[in-house]
Amino acid sequence: MTLDAILQYLHISAILALVVFISSEAALCRPQWMNAQVVERLVTVDRIYGIAAGAVLVTGFVRIYFGTKGASWYWGNWLLHLKLTLFVVVALISIAPTLRFIRWRKALRANGTLPTEDEVKRARKLVMLQAHIIPVIPLAAAFLARGFGGKG
């Protein structure tokens, strides 16, 4: 029981970190605020966001395999599959902004060029899309934890 509580705490902490850093990206990625410092900061924040996403995934799998309910209970529930699918969708969406932020930093360091307003807007749309999908995942988790979606 204690192990399960600690695993849940670690998973929730990782989720909160993920939300903090996607929110930071959304706040920073605005055309009117774009400058050299913001470009550098976006790369750093995005890296930490990726680390937090990795922590969410790892702590989630640790909960599945070492938590009280057991792996068969989780894997037999369609809500777990929904959560993982949404997580993968968010991860795939995150690739484009990550590559853009890195490209912006390269251009900035090479010749002082900042991204255009249009580039920033396109990156922000993808960041915001992620930020709007992420809250659905814990909703599915809340129902999953209460036994919804299981067989029988």
Phi-psi region of 113 (alpha: psi -120 to 50; beta: other; left: phi over 0): beta
97: in domain: yes
Asked if the structure places residue 94 within a domain, the reply is yes
Q: Specify if 87 maps to a domain.
A: yes
Summarize pLDDT for 19-29 with one digit per residue, the tens. Answer: 999 999 999 99
What range does the domain containing 135 cover? 2-145
pTM of the model: 0.93
- Mapped onto helix, strand or coil, the DSSP state of residue 73 is helix
- Report pLDDT digits (tens) over 123-152: 999 999 999 999 999 999 999 988 898 775
Pair of tokens at residue 147: 């036994």
Residue whose token pair is 């991204």: 115
Q: Is residue 45 part of a domain?
A: yes
152 inside domain: no
Would 118 be classed as within a structural domain? Answer: yes
**Pick from 73, 52, 66: which is nearest to 145 by CA?**
73
In a domain, 150, yes or no: no
What are the pLDDT digits (tens) for 35-86? 999 999 999 999 999 999 999 999 999 999 998 888 999 999 999 999 999 9
* Identity at 94, one-letter amino acid code: S
Residue 58 lies in a domain: yes
User: Into how many domains does the chain fold?
Assistant: 1
Are residues 132 and 59 in contact, defined by beta-carbon separation less than 8 angstroms?
Answer: no
